[in-house]
Structure 1
Amino acid sequence: MSIPIRHQGAMADSSNISAVDSNMYRTIFGDDAMRFIMCDTAFEERMVQVEISLARIQANLGTIPKQAAQDIANDCNAAKLDRGRLQQETELVGLPVWGLVRQLSAMVRDETSARYLHGGLNTHDVMDLARSLQMKDALELICSRLDTIRNRLVALTHQYRKTPMVARTHLQHALPSTFGYRTAIWLTSLDRHSERLQQIKPRLLLAQVGGASGSLASLSEHEPEGLRLVRAISEELGLYQPNMPWHAARDGLAEVVSLLALIGGSLAKIALDIVLLQIPEVSEVAEPFVAHRGASSTMPHKNNPVLSEAILALSKMLRQEAGLALDAVPSDFERAGSGAWQLEWAALPQSFTYCSAALKHTEEVLTGLRVDENRMLHNLNLSRGLVAAEHVVVALHEKYGRARSHDIVYECCRQAVQKNQHLSSTLKQREDVTICLSDAEIDWYCDPANYLGLTPRFIDIALAGR
């Protein structure tokens, strides 16, 4: 179907259809810091960097003239690339390096020096090296944002470690807890992700140098030369040296996308808790107030938790990208010809961008999180002692055993609900309870503050050294 004439001009100026690059939604599903690292321009710059570094290394190893390497470094400039032509040639070839090398060769003014460009590597090597450099920067941003959130959670846990609230299971009141315990749970999940991000680097940020099919056959006449090249490129680019080429083993890329999805899931857990705690009937916490954020076009009173909603959406989008990355793992033989490689081109930049946006939103939510301690205490007491019912079971256990004690307290709980009484009142009316516990002891066991278990100790463990 042809585009109506009245829309053709608009399409030329605003043709983005992806949410991450949408003029309308780009700050919800992405952020400029990660976009700067993972965009096409950055990828092109990294590929040019790889070609220049290769020439410099080969000159240092004595395999090409030093003047050629100098000419390549001086004349090759990513800013001078004809990106329209590069796009057309990428579509024609299916890969960007063929067109890139043609343009870079034309930039090198000395024809003799230009002949030494791109010697020994192939398209896969250049693209994987460039992507590894991008991921190295992207991981630094992810780690930095994650650390900021963890520091904020440490502060919240210290501040609210003794703030009583009710723990909920199946969305129902369960046992007494504290808000600091909840934030400590959030914190420890992100602590584990911080460890995973450090652990993944040696498996992910690998140099890829294999030549046409991974054997570096073009350099095999002098075996040490090929191995020195691998080591030198790894050192030059600040990447880890692989024990062998990984062009046909894409597990590391699938691992990082899966890890980003895991991080998104943990951020979504925080966001979901906040969404539920912000329900007016609960009103224990709320996102930071910004005029008109979360507003309604018809209802002036609305204050929707839109940042948390965005985090939840991003976590689901990350999960989808993880599926794509896993589909790219079973590539055929020594070069994926089944579309697996192309899946990475979509999954990697989008996953890093989605995760970075989710981290940015979470940081904003937690930095300005509004906590209503009085409301937490009010909600804790709504059940009139029922949240401490298990504590009474524990108190009766020695006399009646667990099953009988549970039945006794269960009957008292049902009676308390039916008569709209406090649990302690119904307990005091039971002879099988009062022969074991005095009225004062019943009141003590029914006080939520006296049934926090190891909550303080677990918080201490989570905050150790911080």
Structure 2
Amino acid sequence: MLDIEAAMARAQAEHGHIPKSAAEEITRQARAELVTEADFSEEYSTVRHRMVALLNVWRRSLSAEASQYVHYGATTVDIYDTATIMQINASIENIDACLAGAIDAMSELALAHKSTVMIGRTLGQHAQPITFGKKVSVWIGEYDRHRDRLSDLRERVMRSAILKGAVGDYSGLGPKAIAIEKSFARELGFAKPYTADWHGTRDVIAEYGMVLSLIAKTHARIGQEIFLLQSTDIGEVRESLPEDVVGSSSMPHKRNPIVPERLIHAGRTIPRLAEVLGDDQVNFYERDNTSRLSPIVEDISVQSATAARSLTRLIGSLEVDAEAMRRNIDRTSGYAMSQRVAFALAEHMPRTEAEALVKQIIRFSAEQGIDFEEALNTATEVNMYLHPTDITALLDPTQLDQQAIAQVEAVVADAAPKPTE
């Protein structure tokens, strides 16, 4: 608050609205230790206004001249709004750095497993093989887009320092009020501020909440997927935990997920906080405030940074069980490669006939209790076109399409830090 008051005084002095000597003293005395908690509490118990209590105590450390020009023509909400914007700006920088760290961890994991085959699942069913690197590359792409959103949002945040007076029309701030506001923003390291008053709308703050909500939903989705993939029945990945971490108070064998559960929870709580910030766009008349947004901004910011750091720790130490992934592919006896077989047959017959033939062979295989490869080798319609060695190759999930590997590499390269970062 004192830094903002000092920046305002310097801006006003720059344009001759207050004496330069007063601005210099205000800047020198903008020190938090001059307003003790005890003095502030005693003053607040009398005036019942936080800003007035702060200024009354602080003025005791100033000369008569400087004291006269503290908070000159300003209104409390401008100071609070600017403080909130400064905190949001710092929070965006912090959260963006957290996401960059998560992407680094994901990129290392994706490249390490760009050829590690696992079953792809759609609608809860085995679909066809993918690589674990491909799965992680989807996460990378999503967080890279979140970083774009934060960057776009930050441009609007940087234009949101505000000094417009009691009703937002610069009244009380002198004939050079608009120029003073520009200088005020520059003093705080911000860009040219929006000329239109935004205190009653707070759409940029609402947008901040909504971007954090989107990020939290991604945390929850990834947390839920890791939660499921490390379940006993699938067992393809494991959260790395210290040996003394207790999984269950009553069942010693259990290795319960911890961070995935936290990420799922963040995907529920952070969007609820974002709703409150969105509701804060609806206010009465010019400059009323009905929702007390400061605690919400604090809570959503801290929760968002905490969740992003938790995600990075989880990804950075995730254990991948390639053997379990292969076993799960084999659970359907080769059926997961049926599309490859149909495509190979479609080079010799209409595609619809090829697909119908493969489906018929799968049904026969299941009914007879024989594996897919044996059923294909005994089907005359298949033997006419495909040799047993062709069938073996088609049913080998490790025979990867090079485009799938190139895709992972390209996603990692696209998300790599740019020279300007």
Report if TM-score (shorter chain) is over 0.5: yes
- Change in CA separation of 1:61 and 1:371 when aligned onto 2, cut-off 3 Å: same
Q: How does 1:43-442 map to 2 (within 5 A)?
A: 47-83=1-37, 96-108=50-62, 110-205=63-158, 206-220=160-174, 222=175, 225-244=176-195, 245-337=197-289, 339-340=290-291, 342=292, 344-442=293-391
Structure 1 residues 391 and 57, CA gap change in structure 2 (3 angstroms): same
In 1, Cα distance between the equivalents of 2:362 and 2:44? Answer: 71
Deviation at 1:437, TM superposition (A): 2.2
1:84–1:322 CA distance, 2 compared to 1 (3 A): farther
> Structure 1 residues 186 and 332 mapped into 2: Cα distance closer, same or farther (>3 Å)?
same
Deviation (angstroms), 1:412: 2.0
Task: Give the conservation status (yes or no) of the 8 Å contact 1:248–1:333.
Answer: yes
CA distance in 2, matches of 1:285, 1:137: 35
* Kept after mapping to 1: 8 A contact 2:142/2:218: yes
Following the alignment from structure 2 to structure 1, what is the Cα–Cα distance between the partners of residues 345 and 296? 57
Cα displacement string for residues 48-80 of structure 1 (whole angstroms, at most 9, x for unaligned residues): 110122122222322222332233233343234
Separation (CA, whole Å) in 2 of partners of 1:95 and 1:448:
69
Q: Match of 1:462? A: 411
Q: Is the 8 A contact 2:34 2:58 kept in 1?
A: no
- Paired with 1:402 and 1:239, the residues of 2 have a C-alpha distance of 61
Correspondence for 1:33: none
Deviation for aligned residue 1:104? 2.1
Compute the TM-score of the two structures, normalised by the length of structure 2: 0.91
Name the SS for the 2:147 alignment partner.
helix
Unpaired runs of at least 5, structure 1: 1-46
Shift of 1:398: 4.4
1:103 shift after superposition = 2.3
The answer to whether the 8 A contact 1:274-1:285 is kept is yes
Aligned partner of residue 297 in structure 2, secondary structure: helix
Contact conserved, 1:397 with 1:405, CA < 8 A, in 2? yes
Q: Secondary structure at the match of 2:244?
A: coil
Contact between 1:164 and 1:177, CA under 8 Å: does it hold in 2? yes
Unaligned runs of 5+ in 2: 417-421
Aligned equivalents of 1:462 and 1:364: distance in 2? 21
- The root-mean-square deviation of aligned C-alpha atoms, in Å, is 2.3
SS at match of 1:454: helix
Shift of 1:90: 7.1
Cα distance change of structure 1 residues 423 and 219 upon mapping to structure 2, 3 Å threshold: same
Aligned residues: 413
Partner-residue secondary structure (3-state), 2:121: strand
118-127 vs 413-422, which moves further: 413-422
* TM-superposed deviation, 1:439: 2.1
Question: Structure 1, residues 149-193: CA drift from partner, whole Å, max 9, x if none?
Answer: 111111111111111111111222111111111111111111111
Identical-pair percentage = 26
Deviations 1:122-161, CA, capped at 9 Å, x for gaps: 1111001111111122112111111111111111111111
Which amino acid is the alignment partner of residue 253 of structure 1? Answer: I
